[in-house]
Amino acid sequence: MKVKTLGQFIIEKQADFPYAKGELSRLLRDIGIAAKIVNREVNKAGLVEILGETGETNVQGEKVKKLDVFANEQFIAAFKAGGEVCAIASEENDDIIPIDSEISKSAKYVVAIDPLDGSSNIDVNVSVGTIFSIYRRKSLSGPGTMEDFLQRGTEQVAAGYVIYGSSCMLVYTTGRGVNGFTLDPSIGEFCLSHPDMKTPADGTIYSINEGNYLHFPDGVKKYIKFCQEEDKATQRPYSSRYIGSGVADIHRNLISGGIYIYPTTTKSPKGKLRLLYECNPLAFIVEQAGGKATDGFRRILDLDVKELHQRTPLFIGSANMVDKAMEFMKTYSSEAAAVKN
Ligand code: AHG
Ligand code: MN
Ligand code: MN
C-alpha cells in the first residue's frame, strides 16, 4: 500500500499557495507533532499521574484537568518554538499570549486553540480532541494583539481538529476541501486516510445533551420531537448519539451524516461553546465538507467576534438537517431570541 504522510501531503499542497513561503505548512506540521505528543499522554493516561483535576478553575469557571494543562503547554511550546505565529489564544488562558521572540518577529499568523476538547471524558477513557484555527495577523509587526483575533470565521486561513479516539486522527482544511489523516503508531506518522472528506447532505443522527431539554428554546424542543417521530420516507426516528466531546460527535456526524446542536439554555443564555476556538474552526471544516453551521438563525462564520471567549449556540452538520432545525427555530423561537453579542 502506498502511504502518504501528513508531511508529504503538506509539501505537495504548498504549491497551491504560490505566494506563501511555507510558514503555514510548517505551522501545520508543528501542530501534527504536538498532537502526537498529546496522543502519547492520552494513550497512557490511566498509567501515569495525569488524570484528575489540578484543583484550579479556568477562565470559564470550569475545573481544570491535568491533561488540559498538559495539552495547552504542549501546543503553546510548539507554537513558540516554531516561530510561525505572533500570538496564541487558548481556552485555558484568560488573555492572548503575545509572542515576543527573535524567531517570531516576522510571523504572519495567529492561532486560536481549544487544546483539550471534551474534558469531562478524560478520566473515563472516552474520546477527546484538540481544535485549532489559524488567521493571518492584522497588526503590522511585533507580538500579536487582540485585533488579530477579532476577525470573522470567514477570514480563517486554516482550521482543524485532532481526535484522540480509538485511533488518533488529524483533520484539517485550508479552504480547499477537507483531508483526514490517521496516526499509524508503528511508524509514528499521520497518514492520509480520508482524502477530500464530504459529509452526507442528509443524516439519521442527532446529537444534543437532552438532559437540558426543559431549558431549550421551543424551536429546539420541537425539532427534537420531529427527530423522534416515525416516518419511513425520512428514516425517522433518527438515532440519538451524544458523546459529550464536540470533536468526536461532530467527527462522527461528518462521516456518517447527522446534526450536532448546542443551543442556548437557561443556564447558558448565550450557548456554551466558544466562537473563536470551537465553533469557527468546526464550522469552517464542516462547510468545506459540504455541511452547514449556524447559530440557529445566522451562519457561524459570519458572526462578529468581539471577545476572546465569546459564546454562541451551534447547529452544525448535514446541510438538510441544519436547514430543517433552522426552520423549526424560525417558526417557534422568535429571531429576536438570537444571541446578540
Ligand atoms: P471543553 O471540554 O473544551 O470545555 O468542551 C466541551 C464542550 C463540547 O466539546 C461538548 O460537546 C460539550 O462541551 C459538552 O457539554 P455538556 O456536558 O454541557 O453537554
Ligand atoms: Mn471544547
Ligand atoms: Mn477544552
Separation of alpha carbons 263 and 320, rounded Å: 18
What is the distance in A from the centroid of ligand 1 to the CA of 9?
A: 31
Q: What rounded mean pLDDT belongs to the chain?
A: 93
Confirm whether 283 is domain-assigned. Answer: yes
| 113 and 164 assigned to the same domain | yes
Specify the DSSP class assigned to residue 261: E
Question: If pLDDT is split at 50, 70 and 90, which confidence band does 16 have?
Answer: confident
Decide if 104 contacts 98 (C-beta within 8 A).
no
Residue 296 pLDDT more than 60?
Answer: yes
In the chain, how many domains are there?
2
- Residue 208 alpha carbon to ligand 3 centre in Å: 18
- Nearest Cα to 55, choosing from 68, 44, 37? 68
Per-residue pLDDT, averaged over 5-9, amounts to: 94
Nearest CA to ligand 1 atom 6: 118
Task: Say whether both 212 and 190 belong to one domain.
Answer: no
Question: Could you tell me the CATH number of the domain that includes residue 116?
Answer: 3.30.540.10
Statement to judge: residues 237 and 120 lie in one domain: no
Which residues are near ligand 1 (CB < 6 Å)? 91, 114, 117-120, 209, 244-246, 249, 272
What is the per-residue pLDDT across 51-92, written as a single tens digit (0 to 9) for each?
Answer: 566 666 666 666 555 889 999 999 999 999 999 999 999 999
**Residue 12 vs residue 64, higher pLDDT:** 12
Neighbours of ion ligand 3 (CB under 5 A): 91, 114, 116-117
Same domain, 78 and 117: yes
Is there a contact between 104 and 79 (Cβ–Cβ < 8 Å)? no
Residue 164 has pLDDT above 80, yes or no: yes
Q: Does residue 200 lie in a domain region?
A: no
Quick one: average pLDDT of 140-144?
Answer: 93
Residue range(s) defining the domain that contains residue 303: 205-340
Domain membership flag for residue 199: no
pLDDT at 315 (0 to 100) = 98
Q: Grid cell 488579530 — which residue?
A: 148
Q: Relative to the CA of 114, which ligand 1 atom is closest?
A: 3
Mean per-residue pLDDT for 213-236? 97
In a shared domain, residues 13 and 64: yes
Asked if residue 154 and residue 32 are part of one domain, the reply reads: yes
Residue of 60, 114, 117 best suited for mutating to test ligand 1, as the one with most atoms within 8 Å of CB: 117
pLDDT digits (tens, 9 = 90+) for 145-163: 999 999 999 999 999 999 9
The per-residue DSSP string of 19-77 comes to: T--SHHHHHHHHHHHHHHHHHHHHHTTTTTTT-SEEEEE-TTSPEEEHHHHHHHHHHHH
Q: Do 334 and 186 lie in a common domain?
A: no
